[in-house]
Amino acid sequence: MFTNNYHGQQRPVRRRARDLAQNIEDAIVRLGVGAVLELCYTVELPNSIKVPQTFGKTRYWKHGLAVAILSRELGSKVLTDKEELDSCYLAGLVHDIGLLVYDYLVPEQFDQFLATTDFNDPDQPLEALEKNFFGISRSELGAAYLKEWWPVSPKIVEAT
């Protein structure tokens, strides 16, 4: 049942057989491969790296999802190549994946970095702070991780 807000009435939702996908292939065709891939990335990437709960994994992935959506929207305004446009969403989603890799590989040092670093100092770029502390920036670490463990295009690796 649903409520018709305009009339305040409840009535059953009727579905036509032609509106329902009959199998997975039909659903993919109706949604589009790009939409299905974005859905898969959004659901599965957060589970691909196990990090301690203290890191704020939910906040990280909400940020990644927001950047992914914004990247796709901006890409649709300036890109004409379909392959590049399709890469925008995933590139936005994984742009900071190096943070998760820090937390997975060196959790104590990463916690120390977060606790002791002044992120508001405009004279210290974040990449320089990361390189000074870890010897590698999150961008470099994320790119190395994606290149080694994920079968993604070089453009997505470069976007981290």
Q: If you average pLDDT over residues 133-152, what whole number do you get? A: 91
CATH annotation of 33-159: 1.10.3210.10
Instruction: Look at residues 108, 110, 109, 105 and name the one whose alpha carbon lies nearest to residue 145.
Output: 105
**Domains in the chain: boundaries:** 33-159
Return the SS3 of 6: coil
pLDDT confidence tier of residue 2, bands split at 50, 70 and 90: very low
Say what the alpha-carbon torsion angle 58, 147, 131, 91 is, to the nearest 10 degrees: -50
Beta carbons within 8 Å of 57's beta carbon, 6+ residues apart: 46, 51, 100
Please, are residues 88 and 71 in contact by the beta-carbon 8 Å criterion?
yes
Rounded-to-integer distance, Cα 51 and Cα 141, Å: 16
- Pick the more confident residue, 119 or 43: 119
Residue 83 has pLDDT above 60, yes or no: yes
- Give tens-digit pLDDT for 24-57: 676 666 666 666 666 666 666 666 666 555 567 7
Q: If you average pLDDT over residues 132-137, what whole number do you get? A: 95
